[in-house]
């Protein structure tokens, strides 16, 4: 269920043994949180001179846990998206950086040496130069693997704490995480009718699924994601977000209750009355399927095709191949789909024609491109207005 969490690099405290888990799966992180709740484990950390052991999430592994766990003395929250990994290591506060599945930059060894970090691969798909510690996740052994990560962390702390001068940005941001399909509907009054009513009244003009990575190929870190989300909120458009774009919006403060102040009056009124932010933090980049369940539920309720709804999808700073697949899925689903940067398919004229022209006659929608947040918002709003007019609302 939705709950308040803390994000950004300011959550790191150099006086603790800090275990950070990174990747796409929550299993090792959750096992480490459970292991670190053992008072004996905390006592071992204090004997080494630390104030205790803390476990912190990075990118999707962290977001998976953030959606389901409250923060407490052991679980500290989420540091940010994948472009935050190197700045995180450079804070000089990380004792173990445990990497699963994908989206760990391949050349972290120099950071480990300079900032006193023990890098550990916890998934057999992750192997990188200069990283020799492998504790590949095994479901039946994960409790022991978690204790080994904590042991490595305590050993690392003794050396790191005396050698490395920490540099931790002060900024810490509150966000509301945990908006599953069921939680979104509950927050909107518990019935699909409630969502339909606020859409009909125009208080929420439409809904956009923002599922994203982050990249600096078209501008600054998270510039497009945050700029587009602000523009949409200012036009009474509610956002349901997943992936590194979701982490960006959490860190930027748009997934907080205070962000309602920046939304336009209809959406602001809904946020205040229901106690929800204008950006609903839904999960990770692999949660697109779950977002589509929400869209399907609304379409079925109205007796309409998904392509008829005032709904759109954007991946405004995508990077990874999964985002391209998510985009194609949204197109097949009949949803207006904005992508930035332009996918590397322009060498295939037939494919370009299919995506940007012909697809509209097949599934109901085609790709929209563009690297400017205001123009992208204009296109999305125009689409939503057309769908509203066709539905007579
Ligand atoms: S959103 Fe993209 S960059 Fe971020 S973790 Fe997922 S695949 Fe990796």
| Ligand 1 mutation target, pool 84, 287, 322, 339, most atoms within 8 A of CB | 322
Same fold, 8-163 and 179-391: yes
Q: CB of 243 closer than 6 A to ligand 1?
A: yes
CATH of domain 179-391: 3.40.50.2030
Q: CB of 263 closer than 6 A to ligand 1?
A: no
pLDDT in tens, the chain (393 residues): 899 999 999 999 999 999 999 999 999 999 999 999 999 999 999 999 999 999 999 999 999 999 999 999 999 999 999 999 999 999 999 999 999 998 999 999 999 999 999 999 999 999 999 999 999 999 999 999 999 999 999 999 999 999 999 999 999 999 999 998 888 878 777 778 888 888 889 999 999 999 989 999 999 999 999 999 999 999 999 999 999 999 999 999 999 999 999 999 999 999 998 899 999 999 998 887 778 888 888 888 888 999 999 999 999 999 887 777 888 888 888 899 999 998 888 899 998 889 888 988 888 788 899 999 999 999 999 999 999 999 998
* pTM for this predicted structure: 0.95
Whether 76 contacts 55, CB under 8 Å: yes
Tokens at 229, concatenated: 């989300």
Residue 318 CA, closest ligand 1 atom number? 2
Give, in order, the Cα–Cα distances in Å from 313 to each of 62, 176, 220, 240. Answer: 24, 21, 22, 10
Q: CB of 213 closer than 6 A to ligand 1?
A: yes
Provide the residue ranges of all domains of the chain, joining segments of one domain with +: 8-163, 179-391
Q: How far is the CA of 59 from the centre of ligand 1 (A)?
A: 7
Q: How far is the CA of 263 from the centre of ligand 1 (A)?
A: 27
pLDDT at 195: 81
Beta bridge partners of 121: 99, 134
Q: CB of 11 closer than 6 A to ligand 1?
A: no
pLDDT at 149: 98
Q: How far is the CA of 322 from the centre of ligand 1 (A)?
A: 8
Q: CB of 205 closer than 6 A to ligand 1?
A: no
Residue 59 CA, closest ligand 1 atom number? 5
CB atoms within 10 A of CB 293: 12
Contacts of 238 by beta carbon, 8 Å cutoff, 6+ apart: 204, 206, 207, 208, 267, 270, 278, 280
Residue of the CA atom closest to atom 3 of ligand 1: 213
d(CA 36, CA 52): 9
Tokens at 112, concatenated: 């480990």
Q: How far is the CA of 188 from the centre of ligand 1 (A)?
A: 29
pLDDT at 185: 79
Q: How far is the CA of 211 from the centre of ligand 1 (A)?
A: 9
CATH of domain 8-163: 3.40.50.2030
Tokens at 354, concatenated: 């299919």
Residue 7 DSSP code: E
Residue 211 CA, closest ligand 1 atom number? 1
Q: CB of 206 closer than 6 A to ligand 1?
A: no
Q: How far is the CA of 50 from the centre of ligand 1 (A)?
A: 33
pLDDT at 191: 78
């Amino acid at each position: 269920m939705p709950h308040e969490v803390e994000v950004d690099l300011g959550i790191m405290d150099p006086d603790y043994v800090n275990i950070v888990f990174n990747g796409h799966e929550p299993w090792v992180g959750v096992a480490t949180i459970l292991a670190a709740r053992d008072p004996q484990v905390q006592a071992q950390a204090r004997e080494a001179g630390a104030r205790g052991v803390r476990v912190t999430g990075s990118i999707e592994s962290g977001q998976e846990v953030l959606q389901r766990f409250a923060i407490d003395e052991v679980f500290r929250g989420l540091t940010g998206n994948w472009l935050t990994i190197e700045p995180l290591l450079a804070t000089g506060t990380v004792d173990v950086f445990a990497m699963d599945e994908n989206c760990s930059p391949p050349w972290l060894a120099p950071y480990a040496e300079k900032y006193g970090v023990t890098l550990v691969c916890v998934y057999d798909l992750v192997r990188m130069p200069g990283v020799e510690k492998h504790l590949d996740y095994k479901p039946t052994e994960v409790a022991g693997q978690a204790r080994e990560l904590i042991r490595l962390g305590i050993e690392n702390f003794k050396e790191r704490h005396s050698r490395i001068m920490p540099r931790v940005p002060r900024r810490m941001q509150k966000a509301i995480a945990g908006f599953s399909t069921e939680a979104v509907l509950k927050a909107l009054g518990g019935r699909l009718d409630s969502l339909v009513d606020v859409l009909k009244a125009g208080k929420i003009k439409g809904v956009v699924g923002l599922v994203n990575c982050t990249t600096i190929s078209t501008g600054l870190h998270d510039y497009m994601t945050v700029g587009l989300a602000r523009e949409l909120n200012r036009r009474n458009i509610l956002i349901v977000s997943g992936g590194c774009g979701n982490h960006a919006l959490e860190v930027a403060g748009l997934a907080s209750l205070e962000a309602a102040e920046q939304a336009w009056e209809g959406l602001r009124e809904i946020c205040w009355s229901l106690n929800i932010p204008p950006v609903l933090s839904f999960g990770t980049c692999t949660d697109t399927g779950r977002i589509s369940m929400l869209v399907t539920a609304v379409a079925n309720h109205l007796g309409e095709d998904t392509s008829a709804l005032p709904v759109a999808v954007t991946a405004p700073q995508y990077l990874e191949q999964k985002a391209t697949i998510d985009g194609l899925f949204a197109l097949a689903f009949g949803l207006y789909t904005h992508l930035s940067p332009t996918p590397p398919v322009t060498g295939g004229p037939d494919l370009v024609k299919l995506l940007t022209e012909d697809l509209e006659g097949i599934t109901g929608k085609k790709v929209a491109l563009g690297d400017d947040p205001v123009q992208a918002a204009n296109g999305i709003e125009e689409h939503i207005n057309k769908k509203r007019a066709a539905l007579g609302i």
